[in-house]
Structure 1
Amino acid sequence: MHRRRTVIALSAALLAAPALTACGSESHPGAAAVVGGQRITVAQLENRVEEVRSAQRDATADEAQYAQEIARTGSLTRDTLHTLVLDRVLDRAAKDAGVTVTERDVQAMRASLEQQAGGARGLRTAWLRQYGVAPARLDESLRTEVRAQKLAAALGADMNTSTGKAVFWKSLSDASKALHIDVNPRYGSWDVQKSSRVDTTAPWLKDVSRAGA
């Protein structure tokens, strides 16, 4: 199965990174994060997580298998917020680089991946299991992937090399700085240099990542 070689593949290792600084969102009640002055509300985050949980339930044969999926994806809430924020960072970086994505681009990628996955159902199942993407959000996720690939190309960044990766992530770091990202400390904080959500270890913070499991 084709693996996402840009944003998801490169950011997956950053999800468990230790926190460097903690940003507070107390001035933005009800927000899971604020990106470029735009709120990602707790309700929006919870709805996204519920979409994935519902899809996981539909894809499993019984309650035992569903429980295994929940256990396997215990950090789903935090990972989903990471994706929501990173998508906005990537969008800003792409705009700064003059990158645009068309519907034809998205459908071309989908067709290619469906062929590799053995059909549309295989692709939906793979994206749900590997990346926590609900079937209804597949095209949205593929658009992000296309945007990342076109951004890398615009930057002349060879993602198979450490130098190329550094150039790519530098553009995301610059975008992160410009967007002044503020993550509710209940969900961690945002590392501008790595363009990644990281965990906050303050003992007074309630871990909400497994809530609703």
Structure 2
Amino acid sequence: MHRRRRTALLLSAALLTAAPLLTACGNDAHPGAAAVVGGDRITVSQLENRVNEVRTAQRAATTGEAQYEQAVAKSGGLARDTLHSMVLDRVLHRAARDAGVSVTRKEIQEARADLEQRAGDAKALEVTWLQQYGVPPERLDDNLRVQIEAQKLATALGTDTSRPEFWKALSEASKKLGVDLNPRYGTWDVEKSSRVDAKLPWVRDVTAAGSKQPA
């Protein structure tokens, strides 16, 4: 997920105030891990479970196989985007913690209630978050926590989520955590706090084949 995509997720925090699977062969230096962040492993199994949550939600939200396949096609890089989000969430949380920022359950509930009202109802909000951000209903509260945390961090820094000062704080958090991706999922650009595709001859993108599998 490049800067436009990653920024879109964080900038969705403005709503609160304004209204491919990959396979590889050869040696694997990260057995069973999609990434290691601050010494904590994000396992391939955890990543696959998160991807399956989105696919299951997409199937439930679509009518017929053709519509489902269209939804899958629009999110062909889902595994890589999902891993990016999982890593960035941890980086953001570290940056927020370093700045003395935290998010309460009440803040999440209030934000969700406000967004549900703006969207029309709870179901409409869930569909919007799924279609626009690839967030399944069961992860909506977690994502709202991230949005609020990002906004509060930006406020604490005297800036907003689109400004260099905000991303510099994330960059510093990335360095402290020592983000390490399994090469099959790319590399982590510390300065930009973003996942970058790796050009490796032994990596084979099988997203098209993966999309045929049942969610």
Residues 1:8 and 2:9 aligned together: yes
Residue number in structure 1 paired with 2:187: 189
Mapped to 1, the partners of 2:206 and 2:189 lie a distance apart of 19
Cα distance in 2, alignment partners of residues 5 and 198 from structure 1 = 12
Residues 5 and 149 (structure 1), Cα distance of their counterparts in 2 relative to 1, 3 Å cut: farther
Q: Tell me the distance in 1 between the aligned counterparts of 2:134 and 2:194.
A: 17
Q: CA offset at residue 202 of structure 1?
A: 1.9
**CA distance, structure 2, for counterparts of residue 47 and residue 54 of structure 1:** 10
Aligned residues: 193
Q: Work out which of the residue numbers 57, 60, 69 in structure 1 matches 2:59.
A: 57
- Tell me which amino acid in the other structure corresponds to 1:31: A
Structure 2 equivalent of residue 142 of structure 1: 144
Q: Deviations over 1:51-106 (max 9, x none)?
A: 00000000001001001011111011100000000000000000000001000111
SS in 2 for 1:206: strand
Equivalences for residues 37-48 of structure 1 within 5 A: 37-48=39-50
SS in 1 for 2:149: helix
1:175 and 2:173 are equivalent in the alignment: yes
Q: CA deviation at 1:208?
A: 5.2
Deviation at 1:112, TM superposition (A): 1.3
> Which residue in the other structure is 1:202 paired with?
200
TM-score normalised by length of structure 2: 0.84
Question: Does residue 99 in structure 1 map to residue 101 in structure 2?
Answer: yes
- Tell me, what secondary structure is at the counterpart of 1:51? helix
Q: Secondary structure at the match of 1:104?
A: helix
The amino acid across from 1:125 in the alignment is V
Say whether the 8 Å CA contact 1:89–1:175 is kept in structure 2: yes
Show CA shifts across 1:163-213 (max 9, x none): xx1000000000000011110111111000000111111222222555621
* Secondary structure, counterpart of 2:130 in structure 1: helix
Q: 2:181·2:188 contact (CA, 8 Å) conserved in 1?
A: yes
Contact 1:97 1:151 in 2 (8 A): yes
8 Å contact from structure 1 (residues 187, 207) kept in 2: no
Inter-partner Cα distance in structure 2 for 1:209 and 1:177: 31
Superposition RMSD in Å = 2.1
Distance 2:81 2:62 in 1: 21
Between 1:25-34 and 1:149-158, the stretch displaced more is: 25-34
| Aligned residues of 1:155 and 1:168 also touching (Cα < 8 A) | yes
What residue in structure 1 maps to residue 91 of structure 2?
A: 89
Query: Moved runs in structure 1, 4+ residues, more than 6 A?
Result: none
Of 111, 118, 126, the match for 1:124: 126
Conserved? CA contact 2:10–2:147, under 8 Å:
no
Fraction of identical pairs, as percent: 63
| Runs of 5+ consecutive residues of structure 2 not aligned to the other structure | 13-26
2:37 match:
35
Note the residue ranges of structure 1 that are not aligned, 5 or more in a row. 12-24
Quote the Cα distance in structure 2 between the aligned partners of 1:106 and 1:208.
Answer: 37
